[in-house]
Amino acid sequence: MVQIEVAAVVGATRQLMLAGQWGTARALLEAVNAVDPAEVREMALALAEVAVDEDFARRTQHGERSLTALGRALEALPDATTRWDAALLQLRSDYAPALFGGMAERGDSLVAQATVLRDTAPDDGRAGMAAFYAGVIADNLLGDPESAFRHYTEALKRGESALDDLVVSLALRHLGDHAHTAGDLELARAQWERSTELRQKIGHLLGALAQQALLAVLLKSEGDEAGSRVLATEVHRWAGQAGIPFIEQQTAEMLA
């Protein structure tokens, strides 16, 4: 029997997840037979991360089962940081159907949960991620841009403190959207380009495509209709091949 470090498997599957290879990541994790309770818990967390991420990207429904398994692993071997991670994944899992299903009435509860997670986070990177979700929920479900902006600003600060490129890129994406809405195209470009660069750096396919779609929007705002259409066409093709329907739909609408 081949033995392999669980940490190495988890690291590889997280990189596969960022690359939009959710099925391959899940298959790799499920092929590992962990016995040690700590390793079982680590594998369960990784499976839940992959499932929740894919649910948001592809509108699938893998998260609930994986989160239940993670709960069982935590009952067998409690751990405060893993429990916090599980709570954030549950928040993300609850946010996706509220966003795509138009359930704005859940916004207040979800923002409250995100705020608690921010305040109880074990480190700045996690606090920044929770602050980001408080912001995006306030923005998209509650229609409260002022609160959202404050949360994004805190997420950026926390992400920079933790040197967490993903958190920084998320915050800049949404701060750039606020700048674009306010008509500050120069600031929007600076923030969106930086967010794109960070997502490319960490190999985040969905994130990079989402950012390039926004840059296509920005090109149109700047008066470059042809450039906007060329970029949107490429993003549309990538999203279709990668199986990311909401980006594919967004770019299709831009090209219509």
- Residue 132 belongs to a domain: no
Residue 199, pLDDT score: 97
- The number of domains in the chain is 1
The CA–CA distances, whole Å, from 146 to 103, 118, 134, 149, 227 equal 21, 18, 12, 5, 32
Burial 52-78 (b: 16+ CB within 10 A, else e): bbbbbbbeeebbeebbebbeebbeeee
pLDDT under 50: residue ranges of the chain: 1
pTM reported for the whole predicted model: 0.94
DSSP class of residue 238 equals H
Residue 101, pLDDT score: 85
Residue 136, pLDDT score: 97
- Residue 174 belongs to a domain: no
In the predicted model, what is the mean pLDDT of the chain?
A: 95
Residue 100, pLDDT score: 87
Report d(CA 176, CA 173) in Å as an integer: 5
- Residue 25 belongs to a domain: yes
- Residue 23 belongs to a domain: yes
Residue range of the domain that includes 77? 1-102
∠ CA 163-169-175, rounded to 5°: 120
- Residue 18 belongs to a domain: yes
Q: Which amino acid is at 1?
A: M
- Residue 188 belongs to a domain: no
- Residue 29 belongs to a domain: yes
- Residue 32 belongs to a domain: yes
